[in-house]
Structure 1
Amino acid sequence: MKSLKTILLATTLTAGFGIFMGTTDAHAESLYKVKSGDTLSTISQQFSGDNSLIDYIVKDNNISNKNMIFVGEELTIRTAEEAAKDATPKQTQTAPVQEEAVQATPAAETATAETTPATTSSAKEWIAQKESSGSYAATNGRYIGRYQLDASYLNGDYSEANQERVADSYVAGRYGSWEAAQAFWLANGWY
């Protein structure tokens, strides 16, 4: 009886040790907690050095709007090697386009933003001018108003007051400040 207990204990310990040792490299994913100012692009850049992980982050975390993530949200991030194994032709084609958008920032706009320190009101106005020439009535498909917000964010209320309120909330949640949103716009051509 004592030898049977010894064999069972040894078998259990060996199996547990095998499982423990086997899980360190079996699934090389990371868990990332979203911080203020993060975007899927900056997270992908952090983990892979380019925008190649954006579509995988969206898919793996069931993100319905890839332009909207929230501070404190925990995202599962694949390694670049793992993503390369699962690459499909569509994802291979989208990565270069996203990289071109990052590189397409005109030097004059970047120089202006770097030499003139932005304040909240000037950064907010700068984005409004770039997005809609400052018009609350501007539309572009599903994007509405002065800050070209997705119509779903405005919930049918396109008033100036609601546009201001929703824009402030969107920028605070996604970028942390209008200055950070402006910096992102300069790097990517959108915010």
Structure 2
Amino acid sequence: MKSIKTILLGTTLAAGLAFFMGTTDAHADSLYTIQKGDTLSGISHKIKGDNSLIDQIVKANSLSDANMIFEGEKLTIPTVDGTAPVEPVAPVQEAAPVVEEAAAPVAAQAPADSSSAKEWIAQRESSGSYSATNGRYIGRYQLDASYLNGDYSPENQERVADSYVAGRYGSWEAAQAFWIANGWY
């Protein structure tokens, strides 16, 4: 009988502790796991509906470059004016185990400006050639042929590459950082 009382008391205490620990303060910050294609402005729009959280996210996470966020990275999202985020943030997920593979050494790290990051990518993708092809990938930036809509001119390649990088990464520096980490952009 004593053991049943002990078990019941222990279970009740454990349940109470779990409830207490599981409740959240309305003023607590949230964690957000960066998904593929996320940008700080996109995250701010998901949570607040505008760009007003970008500076707060940068500050809360001590980010040196707002354009350098990576898939799987966890960000602290500050509570806005004492209210919970408008839309629930993505649940914190455990990262899948990483299988390390031997990779070819990558040359020097990120240059300081967009034009040098852009050139760095072009040299690695096609040795700078506008006429390079690799299956369905065309030109200086090895863009999918469907992006170029049949116009393989250098001007169109430049225009489409700038648009692609701005939409996907936000900047050429961020695209370069992704390339360094993954071997493609």
The TM-score with structure 1 as length reference comes to 0.49
CA-atom RMSD in angstroms: 3.6
- Whether contact under 8 Å (1:38, 1:174) holds in the other structure is no
- Whether contact under 8 Å (2:33, 2:72) holds in the other structure is no
Superposed counterparts of 1:39-50, under 5 Å? 42-46=70-74
Q: Which amino acid aligns with 2:103?
A: A
- Give a deviation string over 1:24-82, Cα, whole Å, max 9, x none: 9xxxxx8978315588xx333549xxxxxxxxxxxxxxxxxxxxxxxxxx9x967647x
C-alpha distance in 1 between matches for 2:91 and 2:132: 39
Q: What is the aligned partner in structure 2 of residue 121 from structure 1?
A: 115
Q: What is the aligned partner in structure 2 of residue 167 from structure 1?
A: 161
Stretches of structure 1 that go unaligned for 5 or more consecutive residues are: 1-23, 25-29, 48-73, 84-91
- Give a deviation string over 1:105-146, Cα, whole Å, max 9, x none: 62x62xx215xx422111111110100011111110111100
- Whether contact under 8 Å (2:129, 2:140) holds in the other structure is yes
Aligned partner of 2:142 among 138, 148, 151: 148
Stretches of structure 2 that go unaligned for 5 or more consecutive residues are: 1-22, 24-31, 41-66, 76-86
Q: Which amino acid aligns with 1:172?
A: A
C-alpha distance in 2 between matches for 1:31 and 1:181: 19
The answer to whether 1:181 aligns with 2:175 is yes
SS in 2 for 1:158: coil
The TM-score with structure 2 as length reference comes to 0.50
C-alpha distance in 1 between matches for 2:74 and 2:139: 33
- Whether contact under 8 Å (2:130, 2:140) holds in the other structure is yes
Q: Which has the higher contact order (CA 8 A, sep 6+)?
A: 1
Q: Please say which of residues 117-126 and 136-145 is displaced more in the overlay.
A: 117-126
Q: Which amino acid aligns with 1:35?
A: T
SS in 2 for 1:44: coil
Post-superposition shift, 1:165?
Answer: 0.2
The count of aligned residue pairs is: 118
C-alpha distance in 2 between matches for 1:187 and 1:148: 18
Q: Which amino acid aligns with 2:109?
A: A
Identical pairs, percent: 65
Q: 1:158 to 1:185 in 2, by over 3 A?
A: same
| Larger helix percent | 1
C-alpha distance in 1 between matches for 2:135 and 2:124: 17
Q: 1:130 to 1:32 in 2, by over 3 A?
A: closer
Aligned partner of 1:137 among 131, 134, 147: 131
C-alpha distance in 2 between matches for 1:134 and 1:187: 21
Q: 1:144 to 1:77 in 2, by over 3 A?
A: farther
Aligned partner of 2:39 among 35, 41, 47: 35
C-alpha distance in 2 between matches for 1:125 and 1:166: 15
